[in-house]
Amino acid sequence: MRTFKVLVTGGAGYIGSVAVRILLDAGYSVVVFDNLYQGHVEAVDPRAAFVQGDLSRLEDIRALFAAHPDIQAIMHFASYTLVGESMHQPLKYLRDNVANAANLLEIAVQHNVQRFILSSTANLFDLPADRASEPIDEHFPVRPGSPYGESKYAIERMLTWMHRIYGLRYACLRYFNACGALDDLGEDHDPETHLIPLVLQVALGKRPHILIFGDDYPTRDGTCVRDYIHVADLAQAHLLALEGLERFEVRHYNLGNETGYTVKEVIEVARRVTGHPIPAVIGPRRPGDPATLVASSAAIRRDLGWQPRYRDLETIIRTAWEWHRTHPDGYRSRALSSRSSPSNPGRDVCLPQ
């Protein structure tokens, strides 16, 4: 297996860059393909080949496979991912996410790629009120909570037909709230929309307060409940899923720590970790937000032996805090440093823009 070359789309992004690191450490050869819309070339492990290009351009994907004809597996992270934005710009998600994945799959099956791992989402599950407190397993009915969730489900359905027609083995990993950091790889989005980095920006003095979107949900303190999973545990699940496709042809897995925390509880833990008061302001609900999303990860534990290393919220937030504290401007300082030093010729292959 580990002589495989794996293509990681969106491999310069938050989760993708950590997956690249774990694949390389496991002995795989890796090609990263990213348009750098939200990614950072500084986050790409130097052991990987980096190709800058866009999935909306078939010519970019063809050039990628011409340069790397031995790609045998794909991890697909590249996507627009903002739930709130998708409620205001639905076609950006319903059209672009789906069309870009179709472009990738078209070229992949032409090159006889055998394995595909999709970065999917818990936003497939907009739960009815009478089931809102249940841990969500793979048998829950799919009812996307936003155009973003709908776009991911459309890709999942596309993979169903790629398997039936071309024999493409695939796994869809439906994960909940990714968070945390490694020492040198962390969360750097513009704009930032995820709760934990936003809370930590308040502790760093970059924001005056954290805005809570609604406190009238049917939860223990009125704020939304989410299941938080460390980015390294997510990346490890992607590696296990890839190797699991030796035994299984198709798999769908929900990924989380199986414990839910409210927004207010996350803020309180961040106050303890940072020693900062982190003022909070209550605002209106955000469209597309279910009250509660907590995973049941029993299936991937049973099938693949996945065991998260980072189980408690305080440890997860502490890893994020250490990264943000030491990288207050994200990857910007590393980018400035790299521009002033000699480049590594031959590592980066940039496609025509």
Beta strand pairing call for 177-179 and 225-230: parallel
Concatenating the DSSP letter of every residue in 287-302 gives TT--SEE-B--HHHHH
Q: Please give the positions annotated as active site.
A: 148
| Residue 170, phi then psi, degrees to nearest 5 | -150, 160
As a whole number of angstroms, the distance between CA 175 and CA 258 comes to 11
Q: How many CB atoms lie within 10 A of CB 129?
A: 10
Measured distance CA(278)–CA(273) in Å, rounded:
11
Partnered with residue 50 across adjacent β-strands are 32, 348
Q: How many CA atoms lie within 13 A of 206 on its CB side?
A: 13
CA 124 from centre of chain? 14
CA 276 to CA 270: how far, in whole Å? Answer: 8
CA-angle at 305, arms to 177 and 253, nearest 5°: 45
Distance CA 180, CA 182 (A): 7
3-state secondary structure of 177: strand
